Amino acid sequence: MKYLKYKLGLLTLLTFCCILSLKAQNSTDLLDETYIYLQKHYGNTKVDLPITLNRAIKPIHEIEDTDLQVALEKEINRNKTWRRLVKGKQMSVAIVDLSDSTKFRYAGVNDNHMMYAASLPKIAILLAVIDAIDKGELEYTDELKRDLRLMISKSNNRASTRNIDRVGYKKIEQVLRAPKHKLYDEEVGGGLWVGKRYASAGKRYPDPIKGLSHAATTRQVCSFYYQLALGNLISTERSKEMLQIMKKPALHHKFVNTLDKVAPKADVYRKSGSWRNYHSDSALVWGPDRKYIIVALIDYDYGEQTIRDLVIPLEKVLKNSRSL
């Protein structure tokens, strides 16, 4: 009788262990499918960039979020001028919500529509130069460091042209098209492109789709910042270097003009551009209460003011969509 009870007890224990094993297996499968980035939520805490991941990052098209998309379109359409500009392909906006460390979210309007972006594509020059340094093709001198900072922080055209000349158009294109980054891809409307020196002289190297010299889509600019924040541009260490170069912009207009007022304690990593009626801005905003990417490209005489006006509505979209 005792032996029978012992066998029954052992059988029960084995059954229980099998159930636990199956649950653990299902849990592991779930983690693999959802790409858990950190062991716990970082919530409203200040986390250093770049973020450390426990999984390979999802490409940006895999973090598209329906609730965020609906909220973004609804907010843009509230404004008659914005609605008109979007309809005429004169306005493109995209956002990435990085507030939940286990679930990043993306949405965009006209986000695959490539537009002239003036100085914003200088971020592509930065990436190409840092890639060349990483591969031993360029020496990382003090002069080069100054030129990179001048190019990004003050949008200095002479420094930008020197950096283009250091690597060349083909190198920039190669880095943008690299399978790891895919920041220019004909299948999704193109993306970031630099095909002219920021000077009157010099040959053009236009993009294959529209023949633009300095171009971008808001989707691919978001992808640049998204990969940068997650340490995926070249390497974690190289991403960290680029973040430092892009931090604390010297020009306080467009997005930054509004962010200075509503988020003075947040770190802002940013690049903008303007030429005639073309206005663009892009920012990775990182603070205890704000963790997001916003990008806008606008073909409109009052585009600079429009970009200033976008910040608060976009923050509203990001905040409200989290509770849906």
Residues in the chain, overall count: 324
Q: What pLDDT score was predicted for residue 47?
A: 81
List of long-range contacts for 304-308, beta carbons under 8 Å, 24+ apart: 304/253, 304/254, 304/274, 304/279, 306/81, 306/82, 306/85, 306/91, 306/279, 307/254, 307/255, 307/272, 307/279, 307/280, 307/281, 308/253, 308/254, 308/255, 308/257, 308/258
Instruction: Note the pLDDT of residue 20.
Output: 43
Q: Among candidates 125, 93, 82, which has minimal Cα distance to 217?
A: 93
pLDDT at site 57: 87
Q: What does the pLDDT read at residue 33?
A: 33
Tokens of 241: 């270097």
Average pLDDT per 10 consecutive residues for the chain, totaling 324 residues: 48 48 37 39 74 83 97 98 98 97 95 98 98 98 98 98 98 97 97 97 96 98 98 96 97 97 97 98 95 98 98 97 67
Which pLDDT value is given to residue 26? 40
Can you give the residue ranges of every domain in the chain? 60-321
Largest CA distance in the chain: 98
pTM across the whole model = 0.87
Residues 53-87 as b/e (b if ≥16 CB within 10 A, e otherwise) read beeebeebeebebeebbebbbebbeeeeebeebbe
CATH of 60-321, one of 1.10.10.10, 3.40.50.1100, 3.40.718.10, 3.40.710.10: 3.40.710.10
Task: Identify any residues that bridge with 267 across adjacent strands, giving them in sequence order.
Answer: 286
pLDDT of residue 53: 72
